[in-house]
Amino acid sequence: MSDHTQDHDVIRERFEKAAAEKKTAIEQVEFTRFSVRSLFSNVDSCLKQACKYNQQPARTTAILDLGCGTGNYYDLLRKYYPDSNLTAVDVVSSNVQYCLQRGYEQGKVFNIIHADRNFAENEFDLVFSVEVIEYISPADYDLLFSGIHKLLKPGGLVVLIFPNLQSLIRKLIKPSLKDFPFNYGFEDIRKSLDKNRFTLLRWFATDLTTAITLSSPTMNRLLSLMGFRLGMLLLK
């Protein structure tokens, strides 16, 4: 394990803390309620575009929810892929157990940057990861994305959604970045995705309440300035 690679316990503790803080925020802060609504809108838009791209959702038989949390997006995944086998992965064992109770067919507990060590190559049609990468060191992006690439079947898709720390909207409304352990930019993510041979099919951006679909990579600058949260639909 390299000096840059994060320890499993460190990541687990970080996710447990983030989950607890998010639960408290949702209960106490109205702003976060709007943020959560926009997140679900963003997820819905990304999954809808994924279905439009492959045109035959019935062929998407295996989905990996990487960094599943408590399975907040289970209903959306079932909405678009009702017959798929859903696998939940998280570093927090109680989260995985909760997902299994909700209806996921499989669940595993491990450091997500080593996903390829825990599954066979070409095992999944879709890898789904929402608000996870912000807790991963940019030094480990290549480990994460190379592993995801191995897990995907040829032509497999990735739905990736994360906060945009460069957003002017985010800075105006919630200027502190103390909630995020790493100061990353979406270009850091793009660079690693390109290196690991992913094709960007769609960009997504959100304001506080709605999701906006942007199909052209030339919109990068606009996204970096305005998108409160960013989403990507990627092709292996």
Domains of the chain: 8-235 (3.40.50.150)
Per-residue pLDDT of the chain (236 residues; tens, 9 = 90+): 444 455 556 656 655 665 555 544 444 444 445 566 667 877 888 898 888 887 666 678 999 999 999 999 999 999 999 999 999 999 999 999 999 999 999 999 999 999 999 999 999 999 999 999 988 999 999 999 999 999 999 999 999 998 888 777 777 766 555 667 787 877 889 899 999 999 988 877 765 544 555 555 555 566 666 677 788 889 99
Whose structure tokens read 């927090």? 92
Three-state secondary structure call for residue 177: coil
Long-range contacts for 79-82 (Cβ within 8 Å, ≥24 apart)? 79/47, 80/47, 80/48, 80/50, 80/51, 81/47, 81/51, 81/57, 81/126
Phi first, then psi: give them for residue 169, nearest 5 degrees. Answer: -65, -45
In which element (H, E) is residue 187 found?
helix 186-195
pLDDT of residue 12: 61
- Cα distance between residue 40 and residue 37, in whole Å: 5
Dihedral, CA of residue 128, residue 132, residue 227 and residue 165, to nearest 10: -160
Phi first, then psi: give them for residue 234, nearest 5 degrees. Answer: -120, 150
- Cα distance between residue 70 and residue 33, in whole Å: 17
pLDDT of residue 25: 42
